[in-house]
Amino acid sequence: MEYDFSKLNDREFESLAASVIEKTYNLKVEIFKSGRDGGVDGRFWIGDKKEGIIQCKHYFSTSYSQLISKLKNEELAKVKKLNPNKYIFITSKTLSRINKKEILNVFKPYIQNESDIWGQEDLNSFLSKRENQDVVERNYKLWITSTSVLDILINNAIKGRSQFTIREIEEKSYRYVVTENHNKAFKILEENNVIILTGEPGIGKTTLADNLAILYTAKGYEFCDIEENITEAESLYRENEQKKILFYCDDFLGSNIYDAINNKKDSHIVKFINRIRKDNSKKFILTSRTNILNKAYSLSHIFQNLKIRDNEFLLTIENLTNIDKAKVLYNHIYHSKLPKQFIDVIYKDKGYKDIIKHRNFNPRIIEFITDSSVIGNIKSENYWTYILQSLNKPEVIWEGYFQNQTDDFVRTLTFLTVFNNGKISEEYLRDSYNTYLRIHPLNFGDNSDKSFESVRKLATKSLLNRNQIGNEKYEYVLFNPSIADFVLGAYSNEIDLICNIFKSLNSQVSIDYLHTLLRNNKINKVYTSRILENLFDFFYESKLNDEDWDFLIALSSIDIFNDAINKRLETFLNIIITADRPSGERLWELLFILTEFEPKIKFQNFEFLYGFIDDVSDEDTLKRLLDFVDENDIDDESILMQINILLDKYLLSIVNDNDLDIDYSKHITNSYNYYDGYYEPDVDINGIEDEIRQNLDSFLDGFNENILDKISFSTSDILSNIDIDSKVNRFLENYEPDYDRDSHGGFYFGGSSEDDIDAIFER
């Protein structure tokens, strides 16, 4: 087994060393606060009076010659002064037999034999033994970066996007600092199976969610990154009811809040949350910005009924304690590639305290100000000013880099990614980029290569990340979510630029995102008409010729009362309702437009609905469809039959998923089998059927009764297709969680109680 000690900072390595010696010699090791140690990183007692000393050197990337020089010139004098009865030396470097002999000779007689000298290979050998796994698990970062855990993570990630998400999470885990928020989150997730982590941007929600995801995935849960696609998650849930699955959704609702609520996805989300809460074989981790969650709560009665803001599975990430902030800052500095003169700036006059105690301290800003690739051409003498500016005005943290250290072409790739809702495939980004070059004036400046391949290499790892999502397929996402915040804030009035970006993207995803931005006031509403008219002028004829109905529906629904597009919108609606079997997936929006648009559309027949109702699978679209059929007195037998089928399918799914909250325990009693001598369950099948029927009838109260009568809909048909026996058997199965709820699964989540920030930063 190989462990990656490079992921540990020096303080973490000292803690690991103490755990190893404690387990090896079965004794208690005292660990002293960080700082000037006088040659002591740990102390233990042999008997009552004989003192043993541990000294650690985390010189992972330092040459052996530098290590031995330091031991001879600095550490030997300290050891002589301490005069311990036993001295144990531990390093993360690989040591040869000759190296050990040399170290032994340096520290004689304090080191008594080579077994008291531990190198990288000795640590790996110790930690690989099964009986020592408790030491590994107590040192979270070491455990999470071990080869065995990495294999588990990749193997347990559901193929596709989830596999690449878990790889990306793992690559960042070495910067993680376990804080009290981790303890609280772990407890909530264990007890409730669901957690929503909320807080201000950059406070560390995603980082905490990522590391909780790693923890559970490594412990046997399959990892599924659902990206708000609840339908995908529901399907996966039904296919794997017996498996342990961790569902993960970063930036829950996010900028799509209005889309989620107006398209009635909130009911899907709440039902899925409730389903997970009742199933101990599943976990659900979500993150959401505080303002987004509050807005969703104010707009959605479904979220209000769930009491999502005061529920036991909600954890608001508060400001970190000063000691936690110190650990975060120290860890980022330790793992940064900052030149020494820049690090000295942070240490000068204990400047790290000013950073830690700044009102705007958060992990995202710390990541930014310690990233050497972002700092660029800043000189060390200007570095402190740069740090303060970043802390004082975090909303413009990307301004200097974005506007001064990039060109129009790198910015173009960033714009295209931002306005495609933060994610875009490489093929699609290339096409959009080439279109943008043709339609938008750019400063070509020098004769450098402006091809997509050349520019994307410049943008990658500075403003964009390039992730592989399949065989020779790649996807681009923002290097940091705050880039979108900056772009939307800085360029929201650049209407020509915005319109040309959306023309270049030419996708429903981007149009949906535009709708969201306008409704969320990220783009001034004053410009709504101008943007819509511009895009309608550009897209209308081509999309009509291509019969791209869903795109036109998405674009039209931005503002159906805009006089400038009224005539063309009326023409489009008349074309779609008379087209030969049109098809699409935006039935809810289409029915909304047809119902609300003035002048009223006159229908010759309703055959245009055939291709739009094939696969309706959500409650709100079904309700709107039934209301539309009733309002227009539709008697088309094919449509009515299809509605009946869709209702059957949908209601059967909510029964199978127990969204009706059937309490099977009320209908099961235990009777004693005297012949075999044990209790066996006695199930009242009729009672269960009656409860299902009653709950179905109650659920259907919100559906159009006229249409239910017209199609002679009967809940008896649903009941006849339900396998009650399998549901009872599943209910009787006892799901036991794999973790001890009191022991945190054997992980050490405690933090130092020391309040000495200076000691952490002592060099």
382-439 pLDDT tens trace: 999 989 988 887 767 778 778 777 889 999 999 999 999 999 999 999 999 999 999 9
Number of domains in the chain: 3
Q: CA-CA distance, 620 to 703, in Å (whole number)?
A: 9
Model pLDDT, residue 737: 33
Q: Which of 122, 139, 156 is the last residue of a domain?
A: 139
Asked if residue 655 has pLDDT above 60, the reply is yes
Q: Residues 308, 309, 311, CA angle at the centre, nearest 5°?
A: 60
CA–CA separation, 274 and 485 (whole Å)? 32
| Gap between the Cα atoms of 599 and 195, Å rounded | 47
Structure tokens at 682: 């006695």
pLDDT band at 542 (very low <50, low <70, confident <90, very high): very high
**Is the pLDDT score of 515 beyond 60?**
yes
Phi/psi region, residue 38 (left: phi>0; alpha: psi -120 to 50; beta: rest), is: left
Does one domain contain both 123 and 186?
A: no
Domain check: are 208 and 298 in the same one? yes
Are residues 109 and 245 both part of a single domain? no
Please report the pLDDT score of residue 752 as a whole number.
39
> Are residues 122 and 170 located together in one domain of the fold?
no
Are 213 and 149 in contact by the 8 Å Cβ rule? The answer is no
746 pLDDT band, cuts 50/70/90, is very low
Is residue 400 domain-resident?
no
Q: Is there a single domain that holds both residue 21 and residue 73?
A: yes
The DSSP element (H or E) to which 199 belongs, if any, is: strand 194-199
| Residue 67 C-beta-side C-alpha neighbours within 13 Å | 22
The DSSP string of 310-366 is: S-TTEEE-PPPPHHHHHHHHHHHHHHS---HHHHHHHHGGGHHHHHHT-TT--HHHH
Percent of the chain with pLDDT over 90: 30
Could you give the CA distance from residue 426 to residue 154 in angstroms, rounded to a whole number?
Answer: 23
Q: Report the candidate in 201, 199, 149 with the shortest Cα–Cα distance to residue 174.
A: 149
Provide the β-strand partners of residue 245: 222, 282
pLDDT band with cut points at 50, 70 and 90 for residue 531? very high
Give CA–CA dist 237/246, Å, rounded.
Answer: 10
Across 199-203, 423-427, 460-464, 542-546, least confident range: 199-203
Instruction: Confirm whether 545 is domain-assigned.
Output: no
Give residue-wise pLDDT tens across range 265-276: 567 777 788 888
User: What is residue 745's predicted lDDT score, i.e. its pLDDT?
Assistant: 34
Please tell me the predicted confidence (pLDDT) of residue 381: 92
For residue 137 the two structure tokens come to 């698990």
Mean pLDDT (whole number) for 642-648: 92
Structural domain includes residue 426: no
pLDDT of residue 158: 65
Tell me which of 514 and 10 has the higher pLDDT: 514
- Residues 216, 153 share a domain: yes
- Is 568 part of a structural domain of the chain? no
Predicted local confidence at residue 734, as pLDDT: 45
- Write out the H or E segment, with its range, that includes residue 688: helix 685-699
Question: Cα separation of 416 and 591, whole Å?
Answer: 31
Q: What is the pLDDT of residue 578?
A: 94
* pLDDT, tens only, 56-81: 888 777 888 988 998 998 889 888 98
> Using 50, 70 and 90 to split pLDDT, how confident is the model at 742?
very low
pLDDT, tens digit (0-9, with 9 covering 90-100), for 690-739: 888 888 988 898 899 999 999 998 888 888 888 887 777 777 664 333 33
Where a domain ends, among 81, 116, 139? 139
pLDDT in tens, 328-385: 899 899 888 888 999 999 999 999 999 998 888 878 788 888 888 777 678 999 999 9
CA distance 704 to 370: 59
Residues 170, 286, single domain; the answer is yes
Q: Which of 105, 139, 173 is the last residue of a domain?
A: 139
On whether the CB atoms of residues 85 and 124 are closer than 8 A, the answer is no
Q: Cβ atoms within 10 A of the Cβ of 681, count?
A: 12
pLDDT value for 614: 84
Q: Give start and end residues of each alpha helix (H) in 468-556.
A: 482-491, 495-505, 508-519, 528-545, 549-556
Q: Which of 501, 340, 341 is nearest to 436 (CA)?
A: 501
Asked, for residue 436, whether it belongs to a domain, the answer is no
Determine the Cα–Cα distance for residues 496 and 513; give it in Å rounded to an integer.
17
The residue with tokens 């455990």 is 143
Domain that holds residue 702: 637-727
Who contacts 368 (Cβ-Cβ below 8 Å, separation ≥6)?
374, 390, 397, 480, 482
Question: Do 181 and 201 belong to one domain?
Answer: yes
> pLDDT by residue (tens digit) across 446-476?
777 889 999 998 888 678 888 877 777 889 9
Q: What is the pLDDT confidence band of residue 122, given thresholds at 50, 70 and 90?
A: very high
Asked whether the predicted pLDDT for residue 95 surpasses 60, the reply is yes
Is 162 in the same domain as 189? yes
Same domain? For 63 and 135 the reply is yes
**Residue whose C-alpha is closest to residue 583's, from 557, 558, 553, 603:** 553
- Cα dihedral 295→297→300→302 (10° resolution): 160
* 713 and 655 together in one domain: yes
CA distance 559 to 638: 32
What is the mean pLDDT of the segment spanning 99-120? 91
Mean pLDDT of 196-218: 83
Residue 462, in any domain of the structure: no
- Kindly state whether residue 242 falls inside one of the protein's structural domains: yes
pLDDT per residue as tens digits for the range 582-596: 999 999 999 999 999
pLDDT at 638: 93
* CATH code, domain with 26: 3.40.1350.10
Average pLDDT, rounded, for the chain: 82
CA 104 to chain centroid: 49
Q: Is residue 458 part of a domain?
A: no
Residue 556 has pLDDT above 70, yes or no: yes
Instruction: Choose between 445 and 594: higher pLDDT.
Output: 594
My answer on whether 653 and 674 are in the same domain is: yes
222-261: pLDDT as tens digits: 888 876 557 777 777 777 777 888 988 887 765 454 455 4
Give the pLDDT band (50/70/90) at residue 744: very low
Range name among 166-175, 343-352, 419-428, 672-681 with the lowest pLDDT average: 672-681
Cα 707 to Cα 517: distance, rounded to the nearest angstrom: 37
DSSP states along 596-630? H-SSPPPPS--GGGTBTSTT--SHHHHHHHHHHHH
Domain containing 293 — which CATH number?
Answer: 3.40.50.300
Secondary structure of 74-138 in HEC code, one letter for each residue: HHHHHHHHHCCCEEEEEECCCCCHHHHHHHHHHCCCCCCCHHHEECHHHHHHHHHCHHHHHHHHH
% of the chain beyond a pLDDT of 70:
84
pLDDT, tens only, 289-342: 766 666 666 666 666 666 666 666 777 766 678 888 888 899 899 888 888 999
DSSP state of 72: I
